[in-house]
Amino acid sequence: MKKIAFLSPTGTFDNGAEISIFYLMKVLKAEGYQVINVAPASFPHLEKSYREQFATIDVPVFFLPRNKWWWEEAPGLTYGTAGERAASYRDNIAQIRQLLVSEKVDLLITNTVNMFQGAVAAACEDLPHFWLIHEFPENEFAYYLDKLDFVAENSEAVFAVKGQLTTDLQQKLPSKVVRSFIPYTEVSATTPQKGQQRRIVSVGRLTLRKNQLELLEAYHRLSEPRPPLVFIGAWDDEYKKKVDAFIRSHHLKDVSFTGG
């Protein structure tokens, strides 16, 4: 029986990469594999709900403290000095190596192109490493174009979301076969009750890549009275400021946010 370790990007369920990989782990468990999950430490209440969700499929979660979990150039919050972040990266690689040994892991899978620690740890322990890539190398993720040689050299297999992303990355990595995967989310087949009010609902993290400003532009052009617009999910602070500014400048009413 093989044991697989996943390196997760956020340790939260507010993004598609985390949600889809949860169901992949569930399938792997059903197939008889042992699975563990390694994620960045955050806040106790977020860690608690995240750990409890994985406990439902019998997958233990190991949270690692960090200054920055993603590449130095990647989007996201940055803590400490450059030297402190370098030390934190080294600590995380050492901690992942220890887990690979103590948990007798056979394969490490990094669930985003935005992290490198797993690839280094797997190479140090002479273990196979797979990369799952969800992001197009554009806009805030354009930085990883400079990392593709490293990605190719430090992975036994590279997988990208099926479709245009696989095509684009294959062109950029001619020396490597880019395989495809389809993110999967398990849904129930229940029929929702008919509501008393019509609403427009957007589910997902507010980010530049998802471009909810385009939805707001379309909403602004609707004839009044407009149905309420509800955004469900957490947000990137800088992008949320732009969204709020658009709402104020266009005097939009009935726009609400539920958070993550």
pLDDT interval class at 1 (50, 70, 90): low
What's the pLDDT at 76? Answer: 82
pLDDT of residue 62: 98
Q: Is 99 in contact with 36 (CB distance < 8 Å)?
A: yes
Residue pair 129/108 in contact by the 8 Å Cβ criterion: yes
CA angle 181, 117, 68 (to 5 degrees): 105
Mean pLDDT of 180-205: 79
- Helix/strand number for the chain, H first, E second: 8, 10
- Please, which residues have CB within 8 angstroms of residue 94's CB and are 6 or more apart in sequence? none
**Residue 134, Cβ density class (10 Å: 0-12 exposed, 13-18 middle, ≥19 buried):** buried
In the predicted model, what is the mean pLDDT of the chain?
A: 92
18-77 pLDDT per residue, tens:
999 999 999 999 999 999 999 999 889 999 999 999 999 999 999 999 999 999 999 887
Calculate mean pLDDT across residues 115-122: 97
Q: For residue 75, how many other CB atoms are within 10 A of its CB?
A: 17
pLDDT in tens, 131-179: 999 999 988 899 999 999 999 999 999 999 998 899 999 999 998 999 9
